[in-house]
Structure 1
Amino acid sequence: MKKILFVHIFLCLCSMVAQAQVSVPTQAQQVKVDDLTDDQVRQIVDEMRKNKMTLDQVNIYASQKGISATEANKLKTRIKDLNLDKELVFTKPPESHSTGRGINMEEMTYESDGREKSVATGQKHIFGAELFSNRNLTFEPNLRMPTPPNYRLAASDEILIDVYGYSEVQHNLTVSPEGYIRIPNIGPVYVNGLTMSEAKNRITKQLATIYNGINAGNTFVQVSLGSIRSIQVLLIGEVVRPGTYTLPSLASIANALYVSGGPNGNGSFRDIQVLRGGSQVARFDLYDFITNGDLTNNIILQDQDIVKVNPYKIRVELEGQVKRPAIFEAKPGETLQTIINYAGGFTDKAYRDQIRATRIAARERQIITVPGASAGSFELRSGDQYFVDAILDRFSNRVSITGAIFHPGDYALEPDMSLADLIKRADGLMEVASLSRGIIRRLQDDYTQSILNFNVKDVISGQEKILLRREDSVVIFSKLQLREKFNVKISGLVNNPGYFDYADSMKLEDLILMAGGLKEAASLKRLEISRRLRGKEYDPNDTAIAIVQQFEIRSDLRSTPEVAHFLLEPFDEISVRKSPTYYEQSNVEINGEVVYAGTYSINSNKERISDLLRRAGGLKSAAYPEGAVMLRKTFVNESDSVLLSYKLEVYNNKLKDSTDVSKTRSDIFQKDQIIGIKLNEIIRSPGSKYDLYLEEGDVIKIPKQLQTVQLFGEVYFPKKVRFDKNIRFRDYIRGAGGFTTNALKRRSYIVYANGDVKGARKLFFSTAIPGSGPARRFTFPKKERKNRLPHRKPSASRPGLPPSR
């Protein structure tokens, strides 16, 4: 039965909306969202979408229909469950109305915090419009507050009667359309139009007829208001969504304006009338609430009240240096000062002496200048645009001083203030100030700059008096700024070489101490100083470009009197050489089959491999001298690295294949290189050409007796085989399965245990492997295949080209 009743109500609602009015019977309060079908929810969404309402406005829609807030939340949940919320997404407000000031309400959008802003650049919103466009603001009536004393009962109100004491009974009664409540055992009691206190007295008097304890004082009666009724209010005039709205009976003028979207672009915020029974009962001004928080005239509406929003009469625009620039509505008789007060007053930078204005005359616009003192009496006209300018960004009494003074900055210009007074005000000159000359940057009458120079010493002593003007800028130069930064340099064998700041009376010994002293390797016989030539007359025959002087340091590491008292000059460069008799330890390493393997220091520039082998105790019995190798570092010092890099670049320039260049570079720049040595020859003939001199970082490795040969490359089964000096080269190949079809036989080579490499081009017919011992490995390279064009004879008709087929 409830579903049939709701469908009937809903169809009535749809027909009323089609007539641009929203009117719902009071029974709509009894609608339960849980009883609605999915199709009925979709119909509600269609209706909201036609009215361009979003999901957040479900509560507004529910209040228009008289549906409670609890049921409205259920309706929102049902819409989300059916995925219908996507149909209620709009990027613009529901209605579009011109404000009459060139601002379209459709151009209003919202910040993330709900504040209104104008999309159009330079346009201002109407002051007060944020009350109805701010999503975080609502004027929904509080239904949980105590019943107001002046609230008058009417049809559909629910009255709760509680009798307690000697007699106890409770009644929940609803006021009938005729204005009666029916009390059991008593009958109808007329309460329509009564306040709650009046209704309580009448109900208590009627209950006293059956409950004697009421008059005796031992039975008590409490009368309160339960569910309130709904009222129908008509909003007409300049509102965003005019029509008839069903609201709670506690709704006020502000509630009605909020659910209707508020005044439109032409609506007044200050002339809102409430008509009841054909006569005006209230006139509401929203600016009283916005500026003063005054809701005195925000009366509670009654059923069938008419809220009329009249068109605005005067609107002016105020912009510039005010706290709330916007478009303001004014009442007749209000002045410009009133609008400034609505805007929150001037900002700190506002120019208050004059306010510029643009006014629309009968045929054209005109410019008006309003003195600041006349703002309280200046009459407004609709369409005026007022602009409050900012003060000038300059100073009326500023002078500044910079440079070699203790407190540079800006100072106030006082009458008859001189340059000496300003220097004294800045706490005087610094010790490094240049006293010969200073300058003043001064603005001329046409605001172009001019330069005035003065003698600082004469100004300080009082011999010269210079009066200052507004915006004068004084510069006191520093001696340090007027010359190149002086320094001296020390390099070579000192602990902290580099550049040091020069100071007057700086001596050579001082600089050595500042550099951390000499290193152990420093030469005591050779300390050299080079100095720039200054003040020399040009002589084409004179080729000297620097002064060079050498000093000697005593053997006890103390400076001679010449060094101790030698005064340095700016840009002197001191070089400390290395002693030719100082050497750091150079270590080599010998490993493998020697008696005392390990690291040894080279004790002579002419120490050889045989000397190292002797110091290591000689070879062990299992040593294999034919396989001994030496590892030597690629670079001994920086000069070797640069030289080898230069040679490598010359060689690489001759190579055409980038792969060959990369391979050569990687091979040469290895950390260590293998040097094939003949240890048997070294042992047999010490000091011979095979007995190499030792260098820092050399590593000699002597292996045990080697008994295998390793085969690599293009053979069918690369492996290790036992060494036999009677086996021929070709026999080793057969033992590995022979050459593959890709083998480049004549490019095969042998790497011996000591690092020697020999080609195997003529080995195929030899009876044994050349050399005195087993090879480390045989390597058989792969053939290189090249794509070659077939050779063709040139044709007679086309010399130089192959004959045509």
Structure 2
Amino acid sequence: MLKKVLLLQLLLLVMGYCVQAQVSGISQSQLSQVKVDNLSDDQIRQIVAQMKNNNVSFSEIDSYAAQRGISSTETAKLKARIQQLNLDKELTSTPASGVFAGDSSGRQYNISNGDQDTAQYYQDRYKQIKNREDYEREMKRRRIFGMELFNTQNLTFEPNLRMATPANYKIATDDEIIIDVYGYSEVQHSLKVTPEGYIRIPYVGPVYVNGLTMTEAKNRITTQLSTIYPGIRSGNTNVQVSLGNIRSIKVIMIGEVVRPGTYTLPSLATVANALYVSGGPNENGSLRNVEVVRGGKKITSFDLYDFLMNGDLKGNVVLQDQDIVRVSPYKKRVELLGEVKRPAIFEAKDNETLQQIIDFAGGYTDNSFRDVIRALRVTNKAREYVNIPGDSIASFRLKSGDRFYIDSVINRYTNRVTISGAVFHAGDYALEPGMTVADLIKRADGIQEIAATTRGIIRRLQDDYTPSIINFNVQEVIAGKSNIPLQREDSVIIFSKLAIREQFLVKIGGEVNQPGYFSYADSMHLEDLIMMAGGLKDAASLKHIEISRRIRTGGNFDSSDVRMAITEQFDINSDLSSNTAASAFMLQPFDEVVVRRSPSYSEQANVTLDGEVVYPGTYAINTKKERISDVIKRAGGLRPEASSEGAVLLRRTYTNAQDSSFQLSKLEVFYNKAQDTFDVAKTRASIERNEQLLGIELNTILQNPGSKYDLYLEEGDVIRIPKKLQTVQLFGEVYFPKKVRFDNNFSFRTYIRGAGGFTSQALKRRSYIVYANGEVKSTRKLLFFNSYPKVKPGSEIYVPAKPERKGLTPATVGIASGLASVALIIVTILDRL
């Protein structure tokens, strides 16, 4: 028997664990059944965590939800809740991109899922590492001086095809020769050079021009044309030979270039054109030794620095067909950092020194420290620092890999003194030999009228650069009675009287047009302050102006005087002239003036009557004790078709600013007790309406005027009296919610049956009725039976739904049933044993 009990306890523990696992989280299969309004903040966070594990971004929530059978309405609510909790940032998709891009989809590979995923993971990882190396290589290349020419689209080195044909240009196959004969004879020919090197001139025949310069070709063509145009020999006819469309050539780019290969270029292309179309030298290529090989022989070497520094293109020769442009690896590079105009990596030749590298960098900046340049050099065994004096820069020999640091001058002044405060021209001045505080004040054009002349200070740095303070009498210094010599970095401060005292203000409040604080001025009177505040309001009391003043004894404390302030009162009239004492009263700093409201003054207060009364409209409240019955009587009473049972009163949520602030402070406490952000939003939306419905019983009010049901009216009240109501509206868990005709003989259950009856989800014992006047009555429980409220004209019947049981999903029930069956089988077996 003991074994049976232990086994059953074990099974129950397993069942409880399984159920708890189902309730604690939201599985993928449950998402389709989720009602977002019923989810707590923690459950929303669990859903977001599942999305993060599946790499779902915020923009992909719609498709993610659609795949799991979630409706578009619930999806929109889910996205709103996620944004409300600031969880959308956690779902921001940040896949690798640019030069660091590995897998463009942003997938994360699990190498434990098999050989295929493992291979894919390492393949993507290799791409990412390779791209990172390419990026670092490119960044290093861009730091090399001169490489920026090949990274901009505004400088292309395109050959000028519109210029006059160079005299040394050699004609070859596919060139177009234009022959213009003018004078006594007029004729023009455009002839293309054949692959054999000939042009065929009409009536002359073929003329061989391949390999000839333009000058040589002109002489040969003129000689041939003179056989058919005799005027050429006599000078009456002239011949002009020019180049039309030029041929294309093939150039081979080899060596340290970004994109080596064979390129087709115009026959006027130069070395710079070829470098540009091939991407220029790579990170190891030389900018100062670009060779052109023609027919197996080096014909020139192009140094791009000559062009960058001097605009010299002497090595930039015109290329020919099958030329080879070879970019050699660099031999020596050094880096220049710090206070130079163009910090970069520079390529140097063997005979160049540090001074020439600084010239390549555009020279020093204005803030550079030139006495010593520090260099970091890599030797055969280690690294070392080298100090280079300023006079050795022109002779310092470079070594590849050197890194030079040019510091800036320190932020210190050799002869600066400063004056600030109540002087006419505050600022920094030069310290002159024998200069005193009085001299510095004169340089600043003297002290201002508001200066405090009893004390000034000098902030001085001691020998160890710790600060010290020296005080002096400003008046004595100006009068020459005291001479204080200045030192470097002294800072003289002349204080202002206004800056060393509390700001003098006066305050006025109450029934003035612009209450608040105003700056105090000497000889300010009470009337002045009232006028500065915009004058009196219409509600101001002319017999009660109160002025409170600080107690400023200036002597010892008197324990017998416990007053906090001195108060005086005045009577005035609207033009502030009835009381001589009031008009002559002089204010002092920090006085506070309060203009009281007249006790007999009151503004109009209006209420609105709407609906079935004889004279609907807006009515002023005559007295503070005016009631609902009084205003209806003034409106001529109710019309015959009026429904007094459906009359309602709409009253403002807060009657004045004080009530509003007090109520809001209580509501904040209520919001903090709400379980969820969604609950807070619904509660706040329902409370923050401007008007609230106040149920009244107008029949009782008219039959018993002045009774407890006959409420006092307040400003802004709206009384609405509808026509006689003849319908009843049903909402909630009935099969066919609708509006039906009211019948006095029908009960609550009769109306429910008329709508098809209760649904299976109806919570009958929580049904309630909202009457036309706003009164609410709910169903009561008598023993085991429901006592439904009485239905009246204009009523609204609400049948709520049963709450959903969280966690008891079909999967949970299935697991629990299975475990119970297993337990029953085991108990049966143990009984037989």
- TM-score normalised by length of structure 2: 0.61
Once residues 200 and 804 of structure 2 are traced to their aligned partners in structure 1, the CA distance between those partners, rounded to angstroms, is 116
The structure with the largest alpha-carbon Rg is: 1
Structure 1 residue 492 displacement after superposition = 2.5
The C-alpha deviation readout for 1:775-794, integer Å capped at 9, x for no partner, is: 75678786998999xxxxxx
Aligned partner of 2:445 in structure 1 is: 427
The change in CA–CA distance for 1:248 and 1:180 in structure 2 (over 3 A counts) is: same
Aligned sequence identity (%): 54
Name the CA distance, whole Å, in 2 between partners of 1:638 and 1:404. Answer: 46
Q: Which residue, out of 578, 582, 585, partners 1:566?
A: 585
Q: Secondary structure at the match of 1:488?
A: strand
1:67-466 aligned at under 5 Å gives the runs 107-109=136-138, 117-118=139-140, 124-125=143-144, 127-130=145-148, 137-139=155-157, 141-142=159-160, 145-153=163-171, 165-166=184-185, 170=189, 172=191, 174=193, 194-209=212-227, 211-225=229-243, 250-254=268-272, 269-270=287-288, 282=300, 284-300=302-318, 315-359=333-377, 367-466=385-484
Unaligned ranges ≥5, structure 1: 1-90, 97-103, 110-116, 724-728, 763-769, 789-803
C-alpha displacement at 1:753, in angstroms? 9.3
Match for residue 4 of structure 1? Answer: none
- In structure 1, which of residues 485, 489, 511 is the aligned counterpart of residue 529 of structure 2? 511
1:670 deviation in Å? 1.8
1:551 aligns with 2:570: yes
**8 Å Cα contact 1:152/1:195 also seen in 2:** yes
Structure 1 equivalent of residue 75 of structure 2: none
Secondary structure of the structure 2 residue equivalent to 1:338: helix
Aligned residue type for 2:218: K
Tell me the distance in 2 between the aligned counterparts of 1:436 and 1:357.
56
Q: CA deviation at 1:352?
A: 2.9
CA contact (8 A) 2:644 2:698 kept: no
Deviations 1:289-347 (A, max 9, x none): 23222233444456787767667665444333222333434445444333322222222
2:752 and 2:321 map into 1 onto residues whose CA distance is 114
2:78 maps to which residue? none
**Matching residue of 2:511:** 493
In 1, are the aligned partners of 2:372 and 2:388 still within 8 Å (CA)? yes
Question: What is residue 674 of structure 1 aligned with on the other side?
Answer: 696
Query: Structure 1 pair 733/464, CA: closer, same or farther in 2 (3 Å)?
Result: same
**1:50-106 Cα deviation digits (max 9, x unpaired):** xxxxxxxxxxxxxxxxxxxxxxxxxxxxxxxxxxxxxxxxx99x9x9xxxxxxx998
Mapping of 1:773-792 within 5 angstroms?
A: 776=793
Q: Which moved more, 1:433-442 or 1:215-224?
A: 215-224
Counterpart for residue 10 of structure 2? none
Query: How much has 1:152 moved relative to structure 2?
Result: 4.2
Offset at 1:228? 5.9
Aligned CA distance change for structure 1 residues 276 and 580 (closer, same or farther; 3 Å)? closer
Letter in 1 for 2:140: S
Q: One-letter code of the match for 1:676?
A: L
Residues 423 and 214 (structure 1), Cα distance of their counterparts in 2 relative to 1, 3 Å cut: same
RMSD value, Cα: 6.0
CA distance in 1, matches of 2:327, 2:722: 111
1 or 2 for the larger relative contact order (CA 8 Å, sep ≥6)?
2
Does the CA-based 8 Å contact 1:267-1:309 persist in structure 2? yes
SS in 2 for 1:564: helix
Q: 1:245 to 1:474 in 2, by over 3 A?
A: same
Per residue, is there more helix in 1 or in 2?
2
Contact 1:443 1:449 in 2 (8 A): yes
Worse overlay, 530-539 or 563-572: 530-539
Counterpart amino acid of residue 531 in structure 1: R
The answer to whether the Cα contact below 8 Å between 1:163 and 1:169 also exists between their aligned partners in 2 is: yes
Stretch moving more, 236-245 or 549-558: 236-245
Of residues 163-172 and 519-528 in structure 1, the stretch that sits farther from structure 2 once superposed is 163-172
Residues 98-153 of structure 1: per-residue CA shift (max 9 Å, x gap): xxxxxx998443xxxxxxx527xxx941x444556666654554455443222345
* Aligned residue identity for 2:698: G
1:749 and 1:757 in contact (8 A); partners too: yes
CA distance in 1, matches of 2:575, 2:188: 123
Question: What is the Cα deviation at residue 567 of structure 1?
Answer: 3.2
Of 526, 540, 543, 1:522 maps to 540
Cα distance between partner residues in 1 of 2:665 and 2:256: 92
Instruction: State the SS of the aligned residue for 1:531.
Output: strand
For the structure 1 residues 601 and 271, does the alpha-carbon distance in structure 2 shift closer, same or farther, using more than 3 Å as the test? closer
Provide closer, same or farther for how the CA distance between residues 694 and 128 of structure 1 changes in structure 2, counting only shifts above 3 A.
closer
Q: Is the contact made by 2:766 and 2:778 (CA closer than 8 Å) also made in structure 1? A: no
- Aligned partners of 2:767 and 2:800 also within 8 Å: no
Q: CA deviation at 1:370?
A: 3.6
The residue matched to 1:375 in structure 2 has which SS? Answer: helix
Quote the Cα distance in structure 1 between the aligned partners of 2:545 and 2:565: 16
Instruction: State how far apart, in whole Å, the 1-side matches of 2:254 and 2:643 are.
Output: 118
1:638-657 correspondence runs (5 A): none
Say if 1:213 and 1:568 are closer, same or farther in 2 by CA, change over 3 A: closer
After superposition, give the CA deviation of every residue in 1:244-266 in whole Å (9 maximum; x if it has no partner). Answer: 98876555454566677766766
Give a deviation string over 1:695-753, Cα, whole Å, max 9, x none: 6567778899x6x7655669999755688xxxxx6799989989997698999999799
> In the alignment, which residue of structure 1 is the partner of 2:601?
582
For 2:64, the equivalent position in structure 1 comes to none
1:317–1:384: 8 Å Cα contact kept in structure 2? yes
The 1:759–1:154 alpha-carbon spacing in structure 2 relative to 1, beyond 3 Å, is: closer
Q: Secondary structure at the match of 2:356?
A: helix
Change (3 A) 1:538 1:677: farther
What CA deviation, in whole Å up to 9, does each residue of 1:212-236 have, x standing for no partner? 4443445554444566677787888
Aligned residues: 657
Structure 2 gaps, min length 5:
1-126, 783-789, 806-826, 829-833
Change (3 A) 1:421 1:556: closer
Query: Post-superposition shift, 1:553?
Result: 3.1
For structure 1, which segment, 339-348 or 181-190, has the greater mean C-alpha deviation from structure 2 after superposition?
A: 181-190
* CA distance 1:361–1:676, change in 2 (3 Å): closer
Q: Deviations over 1:435-479 (max 9, x none)?
A: 222222222223222222222222232222222222222223223
Offset from partner CA, 1:514-568 (integer Å, 9 cap, x none): 3333333333333333333344755666553343333333698634233223333
